[in-house]
Amino acid sequence: MATTLISGGTVVSATGRAAADVLVDGETVRALLQPGSTLLGADVAASVDRVIDATGKYVIPGGIDGHTHMQLPFGGTEASDTFETGTRAAAWGGTTTIIDYAVQTYGQRIQDGLAAWHEKAAGNCAIDYGFHQIVGDVTSESLLAMRGLPEEGVTSFKMFMAYPGVFYSDDAQILQAMQVSRETGMLTMMHAENGPAIDVLAQQLVDQGKTDPYFHGIARAWEMEEEATHRAIMLARLTGAPLYVVHMSAKQAVAQVAWARDQGQNVFGETCPQYLYLSLEEQLGSPGFEGAKWVCSTPLRSRAEGHQDAMWQALRTNDLQTVATDHCPFCMKDQKELGLGDFRKIPNGIGSVEHRMDLMYQGVVAGHITLERWVELTSTTPARMFGLYGTKGVIQPGADADIVVYDPAGHTSIGYDATHHMNMDHSAWEGFEIDGHVDTVLSRGKVIVDGNSYLGAKGDGRFLRRDLSQYLV
């Protein structure tokens, strides 16, 4: 097994930073050493197979994106990134683990939905991956099948209060699923928007001739997110289920999570880079159909109302605990264009899996979060939240050698023609400039990105059988 020494860098964890050399033996971290130290009386640098010079750079655990949708069928089409292209793009951006969503559709068995996603991903991923389970049809059979998910290494499931006729579950169904969550220790994940009310508002807007992408955000008003978030919290409180609210965008909804946490309830919140940087007015409201690039749900919120600043504040105060991407990319041509003349038919999703680590580092540069909080939000907390910590999310002896060498003196220009490896014909982040650069990425000890060279391969990634959340036990 090859040995690697990452020397001269500053190792950053969720709790601090220190000058240290990292010794990698095969797929795992063997030791953290004082710079220039010896091991068993020998000069370490002279005895390893490879030395990576990290002088002046940060050495951090590989990013964990806990919310992606590769090859997801949606809106009459399918997400444009396959498990092969999406995980390769993730690797370029310093993410070494994704957790995607296996889908149970209406009338389908949960076991068959999970098996279908295993078939899509197996042998195709460039980095390690796990699954959450979308429960799209709550029946006595599926409630029974849910109890077997932890044995399959799937310890969280997602439900939708939105998308009637597609993924939607009513309160009675959610209640029953949450009872299973409480009894098994699985984490209930929730897309919290009032779907039936949104559909009425959307129909009314279309009837008035208001069909541009901008009105996607108007139909999915922040009140719809706040109300559903509160309802999910109350159902979780009643059942005793732990609750994780995904892709939060409205400051009022986050206030509901903060309130529940202040009461001692096991409630957690996730946001995404688009809700920190992009807005209803500037992106979704772009002229003509251009705003379709940024149609996602929950939608981009108004900057004038202060939602973006509130999201950053919630990340600082731990009212929000993680930053994922909800990566669900669609091309403009033949995909987003399905919604020409009717915003309701635009496939919902933005591609960000390649840029999350950079975008969140820019938050460090801007003073929104600390360097340690950057690591905590993008790697360590997702590892703990989703039952991977110790193996993932940390640089310590015995952990997988998922490591990123990040250069704070580097620069990254994001855009379709610049640093874009996702399978899309545009970039939602066109023109963004980052004061930092992913220099080297190791996945279980193998260098898969080295400067401007990609050294990974299809099939490098392994399926991760996850434990129960360490936040809940």
3-state secondary structure of 99: strand
Q: What burial class does residue 41 get, using C-beta atoms within 10 Å of its C-beta: 0-12 exposed, 13-18 middle, 19+ buried?
A: exposed
* pLDDT tens for each residue of 358-404: 999 999 999 999 999 999 999 999 999 999 999 999 999 999 999 99
Q: Which two tokens stand for residue 289?
A: 């159909």
Residue 46: band (very low, low, confident or very high) from pLDDT cuts 50, 70, 90: confident
As a whole number, mean pLDDT of residues 113-123 equals 98
Q: What is the predicted pLDDT for the residue at 42?
A: 67
Q: Identify the band that residue 38 occupies on the pLDDT scale cut at 50, 70 and 90.
A: low
The reported pLDDT for the residue numbered 136 is: 93
C-alpha–C-alpha distance, residues 449 and 446, integer Å: 9
Kindly report the three-state secondary structure assignment for every residue of 316-341: HHCCCCEECCCECCCCCCCCHHHHCC
Residue 324 predicted with pLDDT over 90: yes
Lowest mean pLDDT among 190-199, 417-426, 458-467: 417-426
Q: Residues near 371 by Cβ (< 8 Å), separated by ≥ 6? A: 12, 17, 58, 364
pLDDT band at residue 41 using 50, 70 and 90 as cut-offs: low
Token pair of 205 as six digits: 């807007």
pTM for the whole thing?
0.97
Beta carbons of 68 and 97 less than 8 angstroms apart: no
- For the chain, domain boundaries: 1-473
> Binning pLDDT at 50, 70 and 90, where does residue 473 land?
low
Query: What is the Cβ-side half-sphere exposure of residue 49, based on CA atoms within 13 angstroms?
Result: 10
CATH topology of domain 1-473: TIM Barrel (3.20.20)
pLDDT for 44 beyond 90: no
- Predicted local confidence at residue 281, as pLDDT: 97
C-alpha span between 114 and 139 (Å, rounded): 17
Show the CA angle centred on residue 349, arms to residues 345 and 352, nearest 5°. Answer: 160
Average pLDDT estimate for 240-266 = 97
User: What is the Cα–Cα distance from 263 to 390, expressed in whole angstroms?
Assistant: 29
Average pLDDT value for residue range 298-302: 98
Residue 45: count of CB within 10 angstroms of its CB:
14
